[in-house]
Structure 1
Amino acid sequence: MPNLWVAIPDSSLSDEQTKRDKSVKIAQFARACSIFRVKRVYVYHDPLSQFEKEDPDLLRTVLRYLDTPQYLRKALYPRMAQLEFAGILHPIKAPHHKAAQDIKTVRAGDVRTGVLAKVKGALYVEAGLGSLVPFDGQGHEGKKVNVKFTQPWPKLRAMEATDLDIFEYWGYEVKEVPSAIKLLSGMENTVTIVTSRKGTFFKNAEVKIAERVQASENVLVVFGAPKHGVHEILAKEGASVRPEFIVNMFPNQATETVRLEEAVLGTLAILNSSLLSRN
């Protein structure tokens, strides 16, 4: 199955009035991405919309916070204004959000997410096991890292895990890009699907998209802003690049608009059922 990526604008929260409502909306994004195994979330700049200057940081911070296992949150996220309403947000409960575990039950080959700590010049990893575990490798204190345990207790040791060590969905990463045009022009071996009410009905492009997906490593789905579509944003940037597919995922919609959080959930559900489950 190809890697699934999504892109949303930094103006995604512009139609919400309070930090509480914005935080809830971000949690809806995070839940949708985790349900459908999104591995990367791009946040691109929207030059057309007006939004509060704190919104992009709030968006990135809450997305990353929700993807972080609960046992690491205090270590990685001190008390901060962006997380004022974190306590009311629904948890993701993805496979990498493992519960605290008795260190004696860890087996060689097990994988967990941890954060590096330094004690008397030596590196250890905090991985929700009740005590630090010696870490074989390099890194800086406070770095979030996926680790594989190489020996069981009582000689437990860990090293950085590779993609080959992880067999489950392991959350998403959040990347910031300066513009939609830079995002689209920088993709290689990636099927790019831009969602738009002005696009071709998905059913009419489904077979062609499916063929491209089967031959590609990645699928990138790009969503527009609450008040501006991707085509408008690209036009503002003077873009000459044309996305591979511009698709209307909600033909015959009865509402005047489809909210961004609804578009993300609905689009990913359709793609999962039609395309991604074939691979």
Structure 2
Amino acid sequence: MKILLEYQELPQYLRRYFFGFDKNLRFVGLLNPLNAPHHFKSYEWCEYREGVVLEKCKDQLPFVDVGLSKNVLIDKKVDPGLRVTVKLPRDPPEGIDENSGDIHGSVVAPGEPRSEKGYYWGYSVRVAKSLSEVVTGCTFPGGYDLIIGTSDKGVDAKKAEFSEFSHALVVFGGVEGLEAAIEADSQLRGSEPSDLFHYYINTCSRQQVRTIRTEEAVLISLCVLHDKLSEKGIKG
């Protein structure tokens, strides 16, 4: 699952650099493409693009493959093989070919396209070995300030009124639900959902089947929660 999620997030032109042959990827052609804003075609211009640092250099500065027909010369030394976010001139050059001059770009923080321009710029994948690690392993300073558990035993999501938040976490269980995940975690054994989650909700209140697949529950829940979370999310 980790490999598949990372493969889907990566722009297509970078996949040959970061993914070799892997048996877990033999059916990736069946996956629906994300078509995320940072998945550009070679003829599309944007002031930000994802790239990989190449061995090729000029005046000790490396070139980066950002998926254009020509590589970009960046402004600082970076080890080859690393993924970087590159900022380009706002307007494209008149022509991009082997005879034209170098395209210059600068390496910026991966979050800049989101913070400066409001672009959705993909996601990162974190693997947790237990439910407690899902919560405590948060990479944001101060952790998650809104934690939502989903369960058919929770309250109807339509009735939930969330508090304002900066970083939210929505947790889904397996076939046996989050209750089983809590019981299986030695750090949480004996705990109640109310001890772990700020809200414990049912996003499929009219469920007419015994179980809903997690991949189905994620899509249903995000649709149900989208407006409620958008209203309460604190930007910046």
* Distance (whole Å) between structure 2 residues aligned to residue 64 and residue 186 of structure 1: 19
Greater helix fraction, Structure 1 or Structure 2: 1
- 1:136 counterpart residue number: 75
- 1:224 counterpart residue number: 173
Q: Structure 1 residues 99, 230: closer, same or farther in 2, change over 3 A?
A: same
The unaligned stretches of length 5 or more in structure 1 are 1-58
- The residue type paired with residue 237 of structure 1 is D
- Cα drift, residue 83 of structure 1: 1.2
Percent identical = 29
- The residue type paired with residue 230 of structure 1 is L
- 2:35 counterpart residue number: 93
- The residue type paired with residue 73 of structure 1 is R
Secondary structure of residue in 1 paired with 2:212: coil
- Cα drift, residue 137 of structure 1: 2.8
- The residue type paired with residue 193 of structure 1 is I
> Does the Cα contact within 8 Å between 2:61 and 2:76 map onto a contact in 1?
no
- Cα drift, residue 262 of structure 1: 1.0
* Distance (whole Å) between structure 1 residues aligned to residue 26 and residue 231 of structure 2: 38
> Does the Cα contact within 8 Å between 2:49 and 2:87 map onto a contact in 1?
yes
- 2:108 counterpart residue number: 161
- 1:236 counterpart residue number: 184
- The residue type paired with residue 119 of structure 1 is K
Secondary structure of residue in 1 paired with 2:154: strand
Higher RCO (C-alpha under 8 Å, 6+ residues apart): 1
- The residue type paired with residue 14 of structure 2 is L
- Cα drift, residue 75 of structure 1: 2.0
- 2:55 counterpart residue number: 118
Secondary structure of residue in 2 paired with 1:174: coil
Secondary structure of residue in 2 paired with 1:131: coil
Q: 4+ residue stretches of structure 1 with deviation over 3 A? A: 150-155
* Distance (whole Å) between structure 2 residues aligned to residue 99 and residue 165 of structure 1: 22
- 1:79 counterpart residue number: 21
* Distance (whole Å) between structure 2 residues aligned to residue 174 and residue 137 of structure 1: 27
- Cα drift, residue 80 of structure 1: 2.1
The answer to whether 1:266 aligns with 2:220 is: yes
- The residue type paired with residue 94 of structure 1 is A
- Cα drift, residue 155 of structure 1: 4.3
Secondary structure of residue in 2 paired with 1:233: helix
- Cα drift, residue 128 of structure 1: 1.0
- Cα drift, residue 140 of structure 1: 2.4
Q: 1:224-276 CA distances to partner (integer Å, 9 max, x unpaired)?
A: 11x22122212221315521111111113111111111100000001113331
Number of residue pairs matched by the alignment: 209
* Distance (whole Å) between structure 1 residues aligned to residue 70 and residue 64 of structure 2: 9
> Does the Cα contact within 8 Å between 2:72 and 2:102 map onto a contact in 1?
no
Matches within 5 A, 1:1-279: 59-101=1-43, 110-120=47-57, 122-150=61-89, 153=93, 154-162=101-109, 163=112, 164-187=115-138, 188-204=143-159, 206-207=160-161, 209=162, 212=163, 214=164, 216-225=165-174, 227-238=175-186, 239=188, 240=191, 241-276=195-230
Greater strand fraction, Structure 1 or Structure 2: 1
Q: 1:80-136 CA distances to partner (integer Å, 9 max, x unpaired)?
A: 22211112322111111111127xxx57xx001111112256422101112221122
* Distance (whole Å) between structure 1 residues aligned to residue 116 and residue 102 of structure 2: 20
- The residue type paired with residue 88 of structure 1 is L
The unaligned stretches of length 5 or more in structure 2 are 94-100
